[in-house]
Structure 1
Amino acid sequence: MSSTVSVFVSTKKTEQSAWKASTPAVMGEQGATIFIGDNEADNLRKIQKAGRQLDNLGINAVKLMGDDWDIERQWAFSNGFTDTLTKNQIEWASDAETLRQMRDTAAWVRKLINLPPNEIYPESLAQMVSEKLTAVAPDAITVRSIVGDELIQDGRMGIHTVGRASERPPLMLVVDYNPSKNKDAEVEAVLIGKGITFDSGGYSIKSSEGMLAMKCDMGGAATVAGALVHAIHQGLNKRVQLVLCCAENLIDGSAYKLGDIITYKDQQTVEIVNTDAEGRLVLADGLLYAGEVNAKLIIDAATLTGAAQVAVGTDYNALFSVDDKLAQETLTIAEQQRELLWRLPLNQWHKDNCPSAFADTANSRPQKGGGSGGASNAAGFLLRFAPNNGAGWLHFDIAGAYHGSANGLWPTGATALGFRTIAATLLK
């Protein structure tokens, strides 16, 4: 008896099956068959649901059979046929090496995000990312970490302020991928990731149920790191730097408080009105760094706001940019990569939507969720720190990065949604 279940895709509808027509995968003597139609977007969604169905049936190894499996259909199945710990095995129908690399990268991203907070903290996150990228491109990678009070000396006050209350020091990790090995090569792109490895909310403390999943608040860091890994595998030949802004947002006598004012390296001042709006505080340091190295393209990713999730749900990521041409190109790339991405509003005047009488700006509005338009206002805060008034800058609020419970498309935990789009944006 075979140790794997054969899975087929078919356009031939059957009228004699005992299975309901809405069932993603129909089981038979030869294995499982997924009956598809004319709309490919619907087909991919059904195929991913079929993967979840087979995982829920307790199947842990499959072989994709037949000629109707193109790379995107196989990838959709892969996303569904993935348990939380990525133990399931797939024999691919075609493009095996490409799909194996993609699945391994996605599994690595998910593993980072799913790790418990006693294992994932700023220094361990930095070490895991550094080791992974060094293994992928050992001759082209250099790594620098700015740790603890070194952040003050380097002017990275947002990261230090958010993370100083933890016994585990905050840090900024800079990974330089420079395939030319020319130290004077231009930095074509900087990827910036929010690396809050646990978020209690600080003195604006979260509820117990709201805090349970906050190991995932470093999902932005994992996603951009995975994007760089994938882009290198795909032949990236440009100099790209990865900047991870890492901290634990905890509480003790040294924790930052409501009413505190942070002065950033560019002398902008920020009043703290919500210590649970910490992600934007650390990303500001990363954006200032990107300006210092004159990056042509800047992409940040963060599990930044609940407001973005309210707006786009958990199947999409949200995109913000004031660079219309770049934003449209990115939406097209996301569609090509079969990753759901939706652009939300951002204008220059969003920079002033969190006013303060005591500083240049506040880090939010002093109301639940930052009030109406909270995701755009958070992006507007970041826009204050983006070089060139936001030209060449993309902000991903990755609402789809983590699911607290399994659904018809994804297992419990991280999804890695977004790493393909960001990698393809680097490669365009």
Structure 2
Amino acid sequence: MSASPQEHAPSPNALPLHLVERSQFAAWKAGQPEAIQRWAESQAFNASAGSVLLLPGERGVAGAVVGIGDPLDPHSYGHAPMALPTGVWSPALPLGAEAQAALQLGWGLGSYRFDRYKARLREPAQLQLAAADVETADVLTAVQRVRDWVNTPTEHMGPEQLEAAARELAQAHGAQLEVITGDALIEQNFPTIHAVGRASHRAPRLIVLRWGESAHAPVAVVGKGVCFDTGGLDLKPADGMRNMKKDMGGAAHALALAGLIMARQLPVRMTLLIPAVENAVGPDAFRPGEVIRTRSGVTVEIDNTDAEGRLILCDALAYAGEQQPELLLDFATLTGAARVALGPDLPALFCNDDGLAQQWLQAGETTRDPVWRLPLWRPYLRYLTSHIADLANAGSRMAGAVTAALYLERFVPAGIRWAHLDTYAWNDNDRPGRPAGGEALGLRSAYALLKARYGR
């Protein structure tokens, strides 16, 4: 991961960075020396979002103009670290607190490269701030964790490595960790988690992290941890399986959010649940047509073994409900249908409480980390009808994201405020501040939601 801006030693030789919106460029240029005005005109520079103009000086580069869009959107600054020459840069003028936090976060997002297996071609430019914000640094760390965990191939990020990541966070923040592994899942009544993961040589497990004081509001966070998804016996085609190391993206979001909650000492009593499995093909793989009696007692017929994420989540959600949380959030890379509906950048939000949904939508707007609400249209439960069980785990191709959310809702006890985020956790290609590969989508807004509800 890249160092955060505040980790760089102060430099007296930091070059000035002019952060200019296109609409303000004419006024900025008019206030500059004539030589700089002519230089900008010769480059046909107009401070369009994502542009950079290096300013000449007697000894080389004397500064730079960075064209930005929304000054409160971190991604407005994501191009700068790799577009500017290496060295130390500092804003030419003081910024407001919100704009500086956006710059700090955006610079960190743009500096990120996953370099575990491939060396960087170059180092990013460094940002020097008079007083970097600690909370923004913690948010950046959470985003970088999601990216790192999702980018790591399954050979190095299986169920046991997810457990190790949770254990490291628990030890760092004084949390309690319990892990239920292998056949103990059957003994302790988590049959769907066991069924999905039993064919792999890597034992399935439920990772349970508990943190916070008993007097604080109980909150549960659940993340889908399918560390690789072959599709099971309903095998995916090659192109559909290619990036399935990312199918633990929901777990990455949940775990990173838990780390952020603990780092920021939010006054909540948190239970984090990560069902971690590999959906493999083997002699003991679960089969289409099988019926599983879930933790809640609801029987489920397996219509498709590639609809496995909702299976491991249903036992985790039922267990989360037993903790009687005031709020229950789950994150999952659950359906391709959500991507067809909303594309890669907009996670689909499903929620059984209008007030909670509106809070998350507002948090998404404020943080520029948007989510989009889709309906829990309950008439579509007909697509999950089974003739031999209470429910099928899949069915029609119609409204796939909606029916997946409706399936999950069946396992959330009545009266509990619940929100489900169907997130992509991935960038298909390189964009400034958004490198190809693992991505945190909905994490920052989820933290802002919790901070708004429970912050001191």
What is the TM-score of this pair, normalised by structure 2? 0.83
Q: Does 1:256 align with 2:286?
A: yes
Contact preservation (8 Å) 1:74, 1:92: no
- Matches for 1:70-109 after TM superposition, within 5 Å: 70-85=100-115, 88=124, 90-93=126-129, 94-109=131-146
* Structure 1 residues 258 and 326: alpha-carbon distance in aligned structure 2, compared to 1, 3 A threshold: same
Deviation (angstroms), 1:79: 2.3
Find the partner of 1:8 among 18, 35, 41: 18
Which residue type is aligned with residue 376 of structure 1? V
Deviation (angstroms), 1:421: 1.9
Alignment partner, residue 381 of structure 1: 407
Q: Does 1:349 align with 2:405?
A: no
- Matches for 1:8-407 after TM superposition, within 5 Å: 8-10=18-20, 11-13=24-26, 14=29, 16=41, 18-19=43-44, 21=46, 22=48, 24-29=50-55, 30-36=62-68, 40=71, 45-48=75-78, 50-51=79-80, 54-55=81-82, 57=83, 63-65=89-91, 66-68=93-95, 69-85=99-115, 88=124, 90-93=126-129, 94-135=131-172, 137-138=173-174, 141-178=175-212, 180=213, 182=214, 188-365=218-395, 370-388=396-414, 391-399=416-424, 401-407=425-431
SS in 1 for 2:283: coil
Deviation (angstroms), 1:380: 0.4
- Structure 1 window deviating more from structure 2 (266-275 vs 100-109): it is 100-109
In the alignment, structure 1 segments of 5+ residues that lack a partner are none
Deviation (angstroms), 1:231: 1.9
* Structure 1 residues 115 and 107: alpha-carbon distance in aligned structure 2, compared to 1, 3 A threshold: same
Once the two structures are superposed, what CA deviation does each residue of 1:184-243 show, in whole Å capped at 9, x if it has no partner? x57611100000011111111112222121111111111111112112222212211100
* Structure 1 residues 168 and 4: alpha-carbon distance in aligned structure 2, compared to 1, 3 A threshold: farther
Alignment partner, residue 448 of structure 2: 424
Contact preservation (8 Å) 2:229, 2:280: yes
Cα distance in 2 for residues equivalent to 1:290 and 1:117: 27
Cα distance in 2 for residues equivalent to 1:397 and 1:374: 11
Once the two structures are superposed, what CA deviation does each residue of 1:34-58 show, in whole Å capped at 9, x if it has no partner? 2346x557x655433x34xx52x58
Cα distance in 1 for residues equivalent to 2:387 and 2:301: 9
**Over aligned residues, Cα RMSD in angstroms?**
2.5
Cα distance in 1 for residues equivalent to 2:346 and 2:244: 19
Contact preservation (8 Å) 1:5, 1:63: yes
* Structure 1 residues 62 and 115: alpha-carbon distance in aligned structure 2, compared to 1, 3 A threshold: farther
SS in 2 for 1:239: strand
Contact preservation (8 Å) 2:45, 2:53: no
Contact preservation (8 Å) 1:302, 1:397: yes
Deviation (angstroms), 1:6: 5.4
In the alignment, structure 2 segments of 5+ residues that lack a partner are 1-10, 30-39, 56-61
Deviation (angstroms), 1:81: 3.4
Matched pairs, number: 409
Cα distance in 2 for residues equivalent to 1:307 and 1:133: 35
Which residue type is aligned with residue 89 of structure 2? K
SS in 2 for 1:192: strand
What is the TM-score of this pair, normalised by structure 1? 0.88
Contact preservation (8 Å) 1:322, 1:348: no
Cα distance in 2 for residues equivalent to 1:154 and 1:107: 34
Which residue type is aligned with residue 67 of structure 2? F
Deviation (angstroms), 1:151: 0.4
Once the two structures are superposed, what CA deviation does each residue of 1:282-322 show, in whole Å capped at 9, x if it has no partner? 01011100111111110000000011111111121110012
SS in 2 for 1:388: coil
* Structure 1 residues 256 and 417: alpha-carbon distance in aligned structure 2, compared to 1, 3 A threshold: same
Contact preservation (8 Å) 2:198, 2:285: yes
Contact preservation (8 Å) 2:350, 2:405: yes
Contact preservation (8 Å) 2:104, 2:132: no
Which residue type is aligned with residue 396 of structure 1? L
- Structure 1 window deviating more from structure 2 (288-297 vs 377-386): it is 288-297
- Structure 1 window deviating more from structure 2 (235-244 vs 375-384): it is 235-244
* Structure 1 residues 4 and 173: alpha-carbon distance in aligned structure 2, compared to 1, 3 A threshold: farther
Identity %: 33
Cα distance in 2 for residues equivalent to 1:237 and 1:112: 27
Cα distance in 2 for residues equivalent to 1:223 and 1:187: 21
Find the partner of 2:439 among 411, 415, 425: 415
